[in-house]
Amino acid sequence: MSRVKPRMGATDADSVRRMKRESTDERSRGMQILMEARRYYDAMAKFREDRERNIRYTYGDQWGDEVDTPEGRMTEENYIKAQGSIPLQNNLILRLVHNVVGTYIQQQTEPVCGARDRKEQQDAEVLSTLLHYNMQLNRSGVLNARSLEEFLNSGGVVHRLSYGWLNRKMDCWTINVQPNNFFTDVNMRDFRGWDCSFVGEIHDVSRQEVLGFAKSPAEYKRISEIYNQVKDLGRESSVWEDFGYQDKNAANDFLTPNNPSLCRVIEVWRKETKPRFRCHDWNTGEVFVVDAEDYNEVVCAENKRRKEQARLAGIPENEVPWIEAEWFIDSFWYYYFLSPMGDIIDEGETPYEHKSHPYVFKWYPFIDGKIHSFVSNVIDQQRYINRLITLQDWIMRASAKGVLLVPEDSVKGLNLSEITEQWSKFNGVIVLKMKPGMPIPQQISANSTNIGIHEMLALQMKLFEDISGVNGALQGKASFSGESGSHAQIMAQNAAVSLVDILNCYNEFVLDEAYKVVKNIQQFYDEKKIVDIVGMKFQNMRNFANVLDMETNISITQSTAAPNYRDRANEFLMQLFQQQVISAEQLLENGDFPNGDKILQSLRSQKEQLAQGQMPEGMSPEVMQQIQAGANPQAVAQLDRALRA
């Protein structure tokens, strides 16, 4: 192959260097990246339109679609009003979304870390504790619930994982990303997103925040000149938006912020290429990558050192475990922060140990790269239900209800208002001069509502449940009078089968997020911080360095905070305690009992007092004397039983 297509040189293979060399200046290079980002952003316009429509239907604006009318193009709501009718709606989609979110919350699951090697299981448990601490810090309960709601509405969810200063703390943070501001490589086809090569986000920040990118006075001056046209209006900027009714963080244009007092910054993460060496150390089994310029210092020098050691020890060279290296073109994540004019505010290779971008995203179902939300499947049924309700109301208002029919010749000389008043009274009297053969006054009430609307409405309600999979059993409705609780539970479990796919897809998103959170914890936490977080639970563990280096498996399991999980674990420990396999201290250390820590501390305090020859409170002096004498084994057994109790 080398004779057909020669290898590229190191300069050509390095995409960052090549782009710098081919660009006339920094702004032209930044503009090329900016225009590529804009193409990806514009390609996701259909996703943003569908998301906006789905959210309208979910939260009550279900007559906002535009239609062509003789008077021009207008919304369905205005068209119905123009015809003198009232646009009615019965919002079933919101109840549907809340039922699915409630089903997810009731699962009470959480990601946990596990080790393949049982010797490292305690290290994995420490990582699980750190992960759960970080989840509590980021309020993951409400964050995951609202993210699932977004996932059901739009078919996508995005989080950003970073390390920095927030809420007066320096820690690992999980930030929800507005999907309208996010864009990805549209050439992806892998459901897991492993073939992604381009991600980015639009940020609208204050002038002070964008100046925080500066690392020197010269950079501060350069960034200040870039955004010199933006005025910091401070609190006055709130006049540009209505709270709760227009998303001021959603980008309507790629280059211009909605709020003129904010600075637009486009964050881009792109896969670049670079010549590197892929190395396999046969001594440790480790596979790692080094830059081409570091090859001699890392690989050649180490092999030379091993060769010299083997010569001194009399070991043949063919038995020395060398570091084998292979030249290849490596792809890596490289970030850019750009201004709308193409200025590169900051750039560099990914600083994270997981060697990826800081985003976690999931699209559903992503067949052929297309996104279809859960809510979009039932919009047609919701529209037809609203149409039937509006039609029923219009027919009822237009039908005759208690109209009085009076022959004209019978009421000559009479006041019609007096006739109306007397007719509405239960003891009213109307005097009429009737001619022979003249019909008497009669009241007309037309029952024109029973034309099949009720049957059609019931059919659409049934189709709504069948299409969504959220039927009455999952909503907690009894299917028949006197239904037992066990039968209702089985029916609810069977009904939840239709939601397994979408909830499993969302759990994959939670797993991907947990993996990057664990990697950030291992990178940015130190041993002192770990000890402060894990506390007494791992007090016997002295070496936390393995926790920061180990590779772990992460899986979704039932939460240890779930009542049924806690009861089963406590019951198992109580059986071991009753069989005298474990002590009272081990029972309290590993169990989850009310006031367990307080009781454990009291037991340890009694042990310390006994070791010092003191008598603990509540213990008889006779037992204490026998223990000190050490001549009565029965007293020792009695003390052990007292401590166990």
pLDDT digits (tens, 9 = 90+) for 153-170: 999 999 999 999 888 899
pLDDT of residue 106: 83
- Separation between Cα atoms, residue 287 and residue 33, nearest integer Å: 33
Element (H, E) at 644: helix 633-644
Task: Reply yes or no: is the peptide bond before residue 87 cis, omega within 30 of 0.
Answer: no
Nearest to 227 by CA among 201, 209, 247: 209
- The whole-number average pLDDT for the span 22-48 is 92
- The whole-number average pLDDT for the span 610-632 is 57
CB count in 10 Å sphere of residue 451 = 12
- Summarised one tens digit per residue, pLDDT across range 263-275 is 999 999 999 999 9
* Contact predicate 130/534, CB 8 Å: yes
Position 580 confidence tier, pLDDT thresholds 50, 70, 90: confident
Lowest mean pLDDT among 69-78, 193-202, 362-371, 424-433: 424-433
- Separation between Cα atoms, residue 165 and residue 380, nearest integer Å: 46
- For every residue of 579-590, DSSP letters joined together read TTSS-HHHHHHH
Token pair listed for 485: 């609780």
Mean of all residue pLDDT scores within the chain: 81
- Considering the chain, what percentage of its residues have pLDDT values greater than 90? 36
Element (H, E) at 443: strand 442-445
- Separation between Cα atoms, residue 575 and residue 120, nearest integer Å: 27
Position 565 confidence tier, pLDDT thresholds 50, 70, 90: low
- Separation between Cα atoms, residue 610 and residue 616, nearest integer Å: 7
* For residue 210, pLDDT beyond 50: yes
- Summarised one tens digit per residue, pLDDT across range 472-487 is 555 555 555 566 656 5
Token pair listed for 385: 């239900």
pLDDT of residue 109: 83
Sequence-distant (≥ 6) Cβ neighbours of residue 445 within 8 angstroms: 400, 401, 402, 403
- Separation between Cα atoms, residue 288 and residue 279, nearest integer Å: 5
pLDDT of residue 176: 96
End-to-end CA distance of the chain: 79
Lowest mean pLDDT among 287-291, 361-365, 368-372, 530-534: 530-534
CB count in 10 Å sphere of residue 204 = 20
pLDDT of residue 643: 53
Pairing of strands 359-363, 323-338: unpaired
pLDDT of residue 41: 95
* Contact predicate 71/82, CB 8 Å: yes
